[in-house]
Amino acid sequence: MRTRPWTDAGRWFARAAAAIGCLVLAVPGRGGTTLDIPVFAGGYGLSFYEETARQFEALEAARGVKVHLYGDPRIHDKISVRAIGGDFPDAAAAAYVPWPALIRAGKVIDLRRYLDGPNWEGDARWRDTFYPGALESWEVDGHICGLPFTYACWTIFYNRSLFRAHGWTPPRTWDEFFALCDRMKAAGITPLSLAGTHQLYPEAFLRAAFYSRAGSAGWKALNALAPGARTSPAYLEAAALLQRITRQDTIRGWEGATHTGAQLAFLEGRTAMTVSGSWMLNEMAGKVPDGFELGAMNFPVFPDGRGDPTAIQTSSDCFFVFAKGDPRRERLTIDFLRYLTSRRRAEAFVREMDSPVAVRGVPRVAFSPRMRDTYAMIEQARSAFNMPQAMLQPPALLEALNDARFRLMTGAMTPREFGRRLEDAAATDRRRMADPLVVDDRHPVAGTLLLAGILATAVWLFGAERGRRRFARDTALAGLVPPDSPRPRPAAETASFGPLRARMAATFVGPAFALYAVLVLLPGATAFLWAFTHWDGLGPRTWTGWFNFRELLFESDTFWSALRNNLFLTVVPTLLVVPVALLLAAVIHRGVIGGRVFRVVFLFPNLLGGIAATLLWLNAYEPHGGLVNAGLVALGRLIHSEWLQSFDGFPWLTPDHLYAALVPIYLWMACGFNLILYLAAMEGIDPQLYEAAELDGASRVRQFFSVTLPMIWDLVGISAVFLVIAGLNAFEMVWLLTSQEPAGSSHTLGTLLVTTMFKYFEVGRAAALAVILLVLVLLASGVVLRVLRREPVGD
């Protein structure tokens, strides 16, 4: 930068342009047709699908077809982001994509036309080759939008050798089930391990119990949002049953367990049973101890004999075909799916994955002995019901379910409250379907108070002329203007400003301003406009006035819990980080051996970055054997504290404790940065002040309070503003610690915004959230600076 001077601005730009140009990747040219098919890579992995793709390519070599098939466990995020960006693959298999919005917008094709045609072998109607009910998974308004391939059965897995050793037999009724659990506990064995972070797993009990009580008609009514379905005796009984299981018969710390964690606990013999689907063995490949005898049983029924004991609970991974307007591609995609669902590939899947498929006619011998239980269950089933597709559930209900289900399971909510909460949400959704702009006033007081508070604060900050002048000074302190910057405006200088120099100045500022205007100002301003619209990113945008704001402030429970969480993150970490950083900075400042080393070490977590630091702590918080709990237990043994030892298995990252667990992470990450800041300010203090204080006989502590602190007070205020802004903008820590799926009550405004936009495609609502966030950030910074402003002392 200092050796060779550039000759002119043009050359400089040429270089910048060349640098950028080098980055643009040449898109590789493609011959023939390449189908683009992302697939959820969960328990089954990808290998089977990749193998199918290769075989299909070989079969279709004449047509020059290639299949680009890929995936990972979060493929739905990528598909969602692509879809809302208008870039559609040919087909995709992933549940958590807002398919209903895509279907409504006409982006997903109705498969009935093809299903009425022949299957791959050409010996039957394609539709008839599936198990009954499998095609209903994604039936929307009479259209069949999802093509099922896998056909997993939800079952209770049990440890067969353990059962044999104790003479236990699989229970047929719920009474027998609970009696068995009691015997297990009496024998010192924990009956169940369940996944608290993947609540669809424990919820299988509720679904099964409800179905066996309410039957097929009741199940349909529940999913059709029939009024009263969720407060019906059958639903409440099922909810009570789930609560009884999680509160009495489940392993300690299940609240924080992932589904694989829960399955691991079962396979390692820590519990006698767990709940999962037929994919479990695949998911746990390599983790199953040698000689483990796996048994699978269907869910029990109520003892009155009315429920169908053969009814199975199934769930299918479905393929969706996008309407890309290219008949040839669509035809090829369908052909690929027909090949996938051919009897040969279906059997190959069963042999490789040892898990059922939705295609009929796979012989029993294709299953391993371990899966014969499941096979028999499917073959004997007189009825089957699909686990409801999460994305098909309407937003208010989904939100309520995410929040209330966990509270039901931990006992924070009674089954009756649970049913009522869901029923309310379902009523909201029904009303919304009838009239999209109606708002339920669930938080009339809080909403009004917040609005009034915002207004009052704004008036307080901007109101009086005197206040305004002070605010200008405060923002100057916040660093918006260098407080010491000389701003002389001699007349001569202003006068020397001529038209030529104006053009020169424009060339200097122009590029920066253009970028800034296009990528910051324009979208920022647009957000204000969009906040008053409804838009799913795909269809037309409609004006909805204040609806988004009214819905957030007065109706949404999630918005309010998010706001509470943000408030916690602005107050608690700030109150902890500032004093600790000040103390450490003061210690280093007044001279201590190795001060420089400490300074360097303390800053490191900040450089590490939010993602790496959060992941580090995510593992430190692992309930069993994570650094935190292991440390507490070890300390407990050392000082003989029962209480500390009881932390083994404590689930830190459940919605109940998540925010408490965030505090140490904040401290760990933010202290170093603030410490460096304070130290730099302290080093600017005139040493003579300390000498004078010392002559007056002031102790070191007094010197800190009478010299150091007042001298750096403005900076403390600024750092507090940083922390407050960070607390309001909090996103990545919560996002990662909740595996990118915060429960309703764990959201911050930031995670709620991202979820709203990319998981529900509610662009207008997301923009409204952004606007609220901006208002809060501006007001909070203003308030902090006002409150911390030093009253003028006579110095």
Backbone angles phi, psi at 163, to 5 degrees: -60, -45
Q: Which is nearer to other proteins, 266 or 375 (CB)?
A: 266
- Provide, rounded to whole angstroms, the least separation between the CB of residue 619 and other proteins: 7
- The interface with other proteins within residues 296-335 (CB under 8 A) comprises none
Give the range of 125-133, 176-184, 295-303, 677-685 binding other proteins by CB under 8 A: 677-685
Q: Which stretch binds other proteins (CB under 8 A): 408-416, 460-468, 517-525, 653-661?
A: 517-525
Among residue numbers 472 through 511, which ones bind other proteins (CB under 8 A)?
479-482, 485-487, 489, 493-494, 497, 501-502, 504-505, 508-509, 511
- Residue closer to other proteins by CB (options 166, 287) is 287
Sheet holding 312-315, edge to edge: 152-153, 312-315, 384-386
Which residue stretch of 105-113, 140-148, 390-398, 623-631 sits at the interface with other proteins (rule: CB under 8 A)? 623-631
C-alpha dihedral (148, 149, 154, 155), degrees to nearest 10: 150
CB of 393 to other proteins, least distance (A): 23
Residue 661 touching other proteins (CB under 8 A): no
Could you give phi then psi for residue 767, rounded to 5 degrees?
-65, -40
What is the helix (H) or strand (E) element at residue 770, kind and residue range? Answer: helix 763-788
Pick the stretch among 51-59, 413-421, 550-558, 685-693 that binds other proteins (CB under 8 A). Answer: 685-693
Nearer to other proteins, 55 or 475 (CB): 475
What part of residues 526-585 is at the interface with other proteins (CB under 8 A)?
A: 526-527, 530, 537, 583-584
Distance of alpha carbon 133 from the chain centroid: 31
Residue 534 and residue 571: Cα distance in Å, rounded? Answer: 34
How far apart, in whole angstroms, are the C-alpha atoms of residue 268 and residue 273? 11
Q: Which of 29, 30, 31, 86 is in the footprint of other proteins by CB under 8 A?
A: 86
619 binds other proteins (CB under 8 A): yes
Q: Are 233 and 419 in contact (CB under 8 A)?
A: no
Using CB under 8 A, which of 98, 256, 447, 626 touches other proteins? Answer: 626
> Which residues sit opposite 386 in a β-bridge?
314
Q: How far is the CB of 296 from other proteins (least distance, A)?
A: 21
Find all residues with CB under 8 Å of 195, minimum gap 6, and list them.
Answer: 201, 202, 254, 257, 258, 259, 261, 262
How many residues line the site for other proteins (CB under 8 A)?
Answer: 157
* CA pair distance 508, 59, nearest whole angstrom: 61
**Interface characters, 162-191, with other proteins (x: CB under 8 A):** ------------------------------
Distance between CA atoms of residues 148 and 344, nearest Å: 16
Q: Which residues 589-608 are close enough to bind other proteins by CB under 8 A?
A: 589-595, 598-608
Burial zone of 291 (CB within 10 Å; 0-12 exposed, 13-18 middle, 19+ buried): exposed
Please report whether residue 516 would count as binding other proteins according to CB under 8 A: yes
Contact (CB, 8 A) for 279 and 166: no
How many other CB atoms are there within 10 angstroms of residue 390's CB atom? 12
CB of 711 to other proteins, least distance (A): 13
* One residue of 367, 617, 666, 761 binding other proteins per CB under 8 A: 617
Assess 81 for contact with other proteins (CB under 8 A).
yes
Instruction: List the x/- string, 704-723, binding to other proteins by CB under 8 A.
Output: -----------x---x----
Q: Using CB under 8 A, which of the segments 116-124, 279-287, 306-314, 387-395 binds other proteins?
A: 279-287
Residues 318, 92: Cα–Cα separation, whole Å? 8
Q: What is the largest CA-CA distance in the chain?
A: 103
3 is a contact residue toward other proteins (CB under 8 A): no
